[in-house]
Copies of this chain bind each other. A is one copy, B any other.
Amino acid sequence: MKEYRVKVEVKLKPVVLDPQGKTVLNALHNLGYDQVSDTRIGKLIELKLTNSNEENVIEQVKEMCSKLLANPVIEDFSIKVE
């Protein structure tokens, strides 16, 4: 068994509106950053877990994502093992 660090990026699907991102975009414009044309906010989840090999880690984290970490209806996720 080895310890792995996994980074999961959870983002809203491109077709889903992101009111939080829109608010941040407005705030940036108010601060004078007019060059910014789009902002989207996602989640970054860092996990530390032990498993026998990288393939199993990815398999397991995928399962965690669909069960708990992401909402597959409106969110996409990507998994990086470090």
Q: Number of copies of this chain in the oligomer?
A: 2
> Which one, B31, B45, B49, B68, contacts A41 given CB within 8 A?
B45
Main secondary structure of the interface of A (DSSP, over half): strand
Categorize the interface residue count of chain A: 20 to 34
Shortest distance between the CB of A78 and any CB in chain B (Å): 10
Does chain B have a CB within 8 A of A60? yes
> Which one, B3, B43, B49, contacts A44 given CB within 8 A?
B43
Please determine whether B46 and A42 come into contact, CB atoms closer than 8 angstroms. Answer: yes
Shortest distance between the CB of A54 and any CB in chain B (Å): 14
Contacts from A to B (Cβ < 8 Å):
3, 9-11, 24, 27-28, 31, 33, 35-51, 60, 64, 67-69
